Amino acid sequence: MVVGLGPGADALQTPQAAAALAAATDLLGYSTYLDRVPVRGGQTRHASDNREEIARARHALALAASGRDVAMVSSGDPGVFAMASAVFEAIEHGEAAWCGLDVQVIPGISAMFAAAARIGAPLGHDFCAISLSDNLKPWETVLRRLRAAAEAGFVIALYNPASRARPWQLAAALEALRGVVPGETPVIFATAISRADERIDIAPLATADAGRADMRTLVMIGTAATRAITRPDGGVWLYTPRGEAA
């Protein structure tokens, strides 16, 4: 079972995910995510470093092939920049018997959906998701996709916008977009959504400060069509209308 834990809050984890976690004999995953799973007697935990994804997937498959009920955990949805692909990659290049395993991918609420719901409906029309990490693809590819998505009028959800090892990429990405979409386009910084220290800031692209993001931030960049509704308390709803002019 490749299980999506959702963005953080228990209420945003599906009952199917909770049942899978309770049924497992073995739990695997990045230690930060495993810490979110309630401890149960009789279960074995195999915490690992964030970077060793294929090795972790192979470990899970070997345990499952030996008859264990294995749950591999991911934050958000396991199919979005997360462990489900690593598991299938390990199956494709691994032992022949692994193709016969009963693999279940259990979906979760991805960070972009949790963040969008907190601010209104910014993803209400065509959108795309891009990981800003250049650990697994060249930076040139990231820039090319960003520009193409902005030119095509997609709202963009940026995962992995920054980390200690990748401090400059978000500023470079915002600068590249400034050449393509208007400076007043809203940029949403949504950090630790559904956690106690949740924080959401909105700034126009022209002045958006990349330093606002860290590894727990989901960044969304609207389009020229994205609308803001100011509320009596000074707060704002952002939404992207369903329709657009020809």
State the residues that interact with ligand SAH by CB under 6 A.
7-8, 74-77, 80-82, 110-111, 115, 159-161, 190-195, 215-218
Q: Which is nearer to ligand SAH, 154 or 159 (CB)?
A: 159
Contact assessment for residue 222 and residue 186, using Cβ atoms and an 8 Å cutoff: yes
Rounded Cα gap, residues 42 and 199, in angstroms: 37
Q: Which is nearer to ligand SAH, 115 or 210 (CB)?
A: 115
CB of 95 to ligand SAH, least distance (A): 26
CB of 42 to ligand SAH, least distance (A): 28
CB of 148 to ligand SAH, least distance (A): 21
Q: Hey, what amino acid is at 90?
A: A
Tell me how far the alpha carbon of residue 242 is from its chain's centroid. 24
CB of 131 to ligand SAH, least distance (A): 7
CB of 150 to ligand SAH, least distance (A): 18
Whose CA is closest to 203, among 221, 227, 225, 181? 221
Whose CA is closest to 129, among 169, 159, 153, 171? 159
Residue nearest to ligand SAH (CB): 76
Q: Which is nearer to ligand SAH, 140 or 197 (CB)?
A: 197
Rounded Cα gap, residues 117 and 99, in angstroms: 38
Rounded Cα gap, residues 189 and 22, in angstroms: 34
Q: Which is nearer to ligand SAH, 144 or 195 (CB)?
A: 195
Q: Hey, what amino acid is at 211?
A: G
Q: Which is nearer to ligand SAH, 110 or 240 (CB)?
A: 110
